[in-house]
Amino acid sequence: MKIAFFSTKSYDRESFTLHSANYDYQLSFFDVSLDHRTVNLAEGHQVICSFVNDPIDEFILKKLDHFGVKLIALRCAGYNQVDLSAAEKLGIRIVRVPAYSPEAVAEHAIALLLTCVRKTHKAYNRVRENNFSLEGLTGFNIHGKKIGVIGTGAIGKAFCRIAKGFGAEILAYDLYESEEMKAIGVTYLPLAQVFEQSQIISLHCPLTPQTRHLINADTLSLMQKGVTLINTSRGALIDTKAVIKALKSRKIGFLGIDVYEQEEHIFFKNLSEEILDDEMISRLMTFPNVLISGHQAFLTHEALEQIATTTLESVAAFERGEFLKNEVKAS
């Protein structure tokens, strides 16, 4: 079985090479993303493995079908980048990694939150310049605050457990309320009430047509002045233009994001010697109360191991003709 990996970095190659020792697979690693220009690299392979920002549209799917590819293994949880209807018509199966160390993403969300509200990144830069002044570094306690958690899947649950350890009150919204979370003191409320009552809001829901731009001018108007907003889920959950306006009006006190709605043109690349054409992220970076990381919330040794083993086992199950427990379908 030959597998073509797209959008790979050194950590992908190391992890998959290590964990493929028990499988009789030939792995081809390509640094480039999967797109209309690079899809021909998949020829001669039976499976492709792509990442979150590889757009797999009908054109690419038809090309893959022509090459005989019948399985696409997404080494990520999100799958909105795939035209599932077109894949189903062509008989191409899609699998994903629904959960890979949810604690990794949850802990990064907490790291963004703490860095924002305690301004440790600014203190670090000051001290390196022998500036030990505390002026402008006043933050606030998480203890006693109301934290709104949107989405209590595996990552949202991990975030709730950590936040409870800080002594925060957790308000949550999810289409399916978790009895496990209720047992530890999480209170489920309608979405509007979570927005209205929370001083901190952390997003942990998937990107769907219903959740796209969940944070917009209307929902921002419900929030408290000075709200802290954290997003480690999907970039398009946030309407960036609306958030920029909310930052300018001081409606948002702090913004911490690990994802961005136009990130496929920017993230996972070294653009330090280039001028960014994306005016919105450039504008975001001018705000002193905005913290951006480059989609690294998943990047721990434990998560990489889980991604590799889950993906390879899905390929093995496909090869054996077994049930694909991590398959996603259009319907």
User: Active-site residue among 19, 93, 108, 234?
Assistant: 234
Report yes or no: 38 and 30 within 8 Å, Cβ to Cβ. Answer: yes
Burial 201-231 (b: 16+ CB within 10 A, else e): bbbbbebeeebebbbbeebbeebbeebbbbb
Catalytic site includes residue 234: yes
User: Active-site residue among 75, 93, 96, 295?
Assistant: 295
- Helices marked H in the chain: 10-19, 58-67, 84-90, 102-118, 120-128, 154-165, 179-183, 191-197, 217-222, 240-248, 279-284, 301-320
Residue keyed to tokens 């136009």: 262
Residues in the chain: 331
Question: How many angstroms separate the CA atoms of 330 and 328, rounded?
Answer: 7
User: Active-site residue among 169, 261, 263, 264?
Assistant: 263
Q: Can you read off the two tokens belonging to residue 266?
A: 């920017």
Q: Within 10 Å of residue 94's Cβ, how many Cβ atoms?
A: 22
Question: How many angstroms separate the CA atoms of 180 and 156, rounded?
Answer: 12
Catalytic site includes residue 295: yes
Q: What residues act catalytically?
A: 234, 263, 295
